[in-house]
C-alpha cells in the first residue's frame, strides 16, 4: 500500500501538505519476528504498514498476550510514547517480513505546528487510534470467544491464514485449545 493512500485513508491532505509529510518519512524493511517497538522504552517513531503483518503484545505472568494485529494500511505505534513521551507498555513485532513507513514523532509534531491541514490530520489520526482501541477492548469484555472468532472470520478471513494459531488465540482472548475447539465446531 502506498504512503499517500495510507495517509489519505486517515484524513485527506492537500498535495502541499502531503509533500511536507512525505519529505519526513523513511521506508524501512523489517524481517519476520523482529521487535521494532519495545516495551519500557520511549519510541521515537510511528510506523505506517506498507506491507506485512505485525502484532502488539504485552507480557504478563511470563506469557505474551496479543492485543492487536496490524496489517497493510494501519498504524503501529506506542501511544504512551507518542502522546506523553514516556516508555510504552507494549511491544510490536513483525509476524511476516514487512515494509513500513516511519516518521519521527518529533518531526510529526513540528509539522502539526506548521500546517493546519497536517494538524487536522493528526487530530483525525488520534481519533481513529482511540476508536481502534475501543473496538479491540469492548468485544473482549462483552462477547464470547466464539462470537469474536466468527466476527473475524466474517470481516477479515484472509487474516486468519496469515497469523499463527497461538497469536490468533491470544488476540481473541482464548487458549489455543479453546480456539481449536471453536474452529472444529464450525
Query: What's the CATH code of the domain at 89?
Result: 2.60.120.10
Directed axis angle between helix 116-142 and helix 145-155, to 10°? Answer: 140
User: How far is Cα 70 from Cα 94, in angstroms, rounded to an integer?
Assistant: 9
111, 24 Cβ separation under 8 angstroms: yes
- The answer to whether residues 116 and 150 belong to one domain is no
- The answer to whether residues 168 and 152 belong to one domain is yes
3-class secondary-structure state, position 86? coil
- The answer to whether residues 127 and 164 belong to one domain is no
Residue 43 CA to its chain's centroid (Å): 14
- The answer to whether residues 125 and 165 belong to one domain is no
> What average pLDDT does the chain have?
95
pLDDT in tens, 136-183: 888 888 999 999 999 999 999 998 899 999 999 999 999 999 999 999
User: How far is Cα 149 from Cα 63, in angstroms, rounded to an integer?
Assistant: 21
- The answer to whether residues 13 and 94 belong to one domain is yes
In the chain, the number of structural domains is 2
Domain of 164, in residue numbers: 143-186
Grid coordinates of 123: 487530530
- The answer to whether residues 66 and 126 belong to one domain is yes
| Ranges of H-type helices in 49-175 | 79-84, 105-114, 116-142, 145-155, 157-162, 165-171
- The answer to whether residues 162 and 133 belong to one domain is no
Measure the CA dihedral 35/153/65/9, to 10°: 50
pLDDT in tens, 8-35: 999 999 999 999 999 999 999 999 999 9
Rg (CA), the chain: 17
Amino acid at each position: 500500500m502506498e504512503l499517500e493512500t495510507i495517509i489519505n485513508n486517515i484524513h485527506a491532505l492537500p498535495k502541499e501538505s502531503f509533500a511536507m509529510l512525505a519529505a519526513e518519512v523513511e521506508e524501512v524493511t523489517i524481517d519476520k519476528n523482529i521487535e521494532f517497538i519495545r516495551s519500557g522504552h520511549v519510541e521515537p517513531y510511528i510506523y505506517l504498514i506498507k506491507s506485512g503483518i505485525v502484532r502488539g503484545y504485552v507480557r504478563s505472568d511470563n506469557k505474551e498476550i496479543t492485543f492487536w494485529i496490524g496489517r497493510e494500511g494501519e498504524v503501529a505505534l506506542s501511544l504512551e510514547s507518542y502522546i506523553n513521551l514516556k516508555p510504552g507498555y507494549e511491544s510490536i513485532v513483525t509476524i511476516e517480513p514487512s515494509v513500513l513507513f516511519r516518521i519521527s514523532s518529533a518531526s510529526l509534531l513540528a509539522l502539526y505546528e506548521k500546517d493546519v491541514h497536517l494538524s487536522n490530520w493528526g487530530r483525525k489520526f488520534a481519533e481513529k487510534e482511540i476508536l481502534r482501541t475501543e473496538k479491540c477492548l469492548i468485544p473482549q469484555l462483552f462477547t464470547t470467544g466464539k462470537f469474536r472468532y466468527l466476527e473475524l472470520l466474517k470481516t477479515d478471513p484472509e487474516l486468519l491464514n496469515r497469523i499463527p494459531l497461538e497469536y490468533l488465540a491470544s488476540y481473541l482472548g482464548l487458549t489455543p485449545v479453546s480456539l481449536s475447539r471453536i474452529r472444529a465446531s464450525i
